[in-house]
Amino acid sequence: MVGPGGRISDWAASHAVYDIMSSVISLRDRLNQMVEMRRAEGLSQADLAARMSTSQAAVARIESTDSDPRLSTLERYAKALNDALREKGVAVPETYSLDLIERFSAAVFANASSLYEDAQLLLAAGHRPRAYALAELAAEELGKCLILIRVGTDVALGNKVDWKDTTRRLGEHGSKLRVLLLFDWAITDQAAAYAAHDVEALVGDGAGRRRAASEANEALLLRERALYVEVGPAGLTTPDASIAPADAEMMVNAVHSTIGKMKALGLPPVPGEYKRRARSVDFRKTATGLRRTLNRLPGIVPYE
């Protein structure tokens, strides 16, 4: 099955790369988690039925271990449960709908492209510190886009999403940049493993992943030096003295390259693409296979 936003295999490989794959669970597993939460908070099936505009018997059928819920049913159940929990005063992490994720990721990608274009103009005008800083911010926006795509894929598949952790990562400079550099490492240094969905090879290249994380830390440090005048062990330092022409050119060119790579993979996805992917039997089989592989691998840390 091929969709307008890129090949199913590309998305499956990307799904493995964005966080080096946290676990993928089924719609049934996700529903079971919500049923346990409902019971733990003392909510009845009738409570949810009223919010879903259906009967208690219908909710009982949805929760039955013999049922295989549709994604749309799961979304209705989740909304009803969240509404009921909020009414009880139970803290529920902020969640994003698929529609919002689609619009959010598209806007973030557009902003990254705009930041890159401004950085390119600044570089051409000889303002290399500002060019570096804007290009680095563009890179962070691209990382944010990848995080949102990962979350959108999980929401569409009915997988568990840690919304609190997602919100934290979307706001952390380091997390966003590490995600992007891991993505670039995978599609550049581990291109064959990426294309083959070889998660074991991706996870096994610990040196490559550590190098990507180290490069992210260095880029963050240079961005600070590109923006501020400071006094340190070496004395007074200024942005012009801190950012060499090669540094600025490297960052601007790297962002341009990554924007092109993401477009070639159909990222971010077009509206409606998440649900089309989720309905693909091949995609679900691939996701299940990735989950089995990950269950055999120790020490997997989501996203980083």
Angle at which helices 56-63 and 27-40 cross, to 10° = 130
Distances (CA, A) of 207 to 40, 145, 177, 304: 43, 25, 18, 13
Q: Tell me: the pLDDT tens digits for 117-134?
A: 999 999 999 999 999 999
pLDDT at 186: 85
pLDDT digit string, tens, across residues 133-188: 999 999 999 999 988 988 888 888 887 787 877 887 888 898 899 889 988 988 89
CA distance 11 to 17: 10
Structure token digits, residue 88: 């009880």
**Residue carrying the six token digits 């990554």:** 258
Residue 111 banded pLDDT, cuts 50, 70, 90: very high
The answer to whether 255 and 267 are in contact (CB under 8 A) is no
Classify domain 27-87 by CATH architecture: Orthogonal Bundle (1.10)
Q: Is residue 184 within 8 Å of residue 219, measured between CB atoms?
A: no
The full set of domain ranges for the chain reads 14-20+97-295, 27-87
What number is the average pLDDT over the span 36-42? Answer: 86
Cα–Cα distances in Å, from 165 out to 37, 95, 161, 170?
19, 11, 9, 9
State how far the Cα of 181 lies from the Cα of 178, in Å rounded to an integer.
5
Contact yes or no for 288/16 (Cβ under 8 A): no
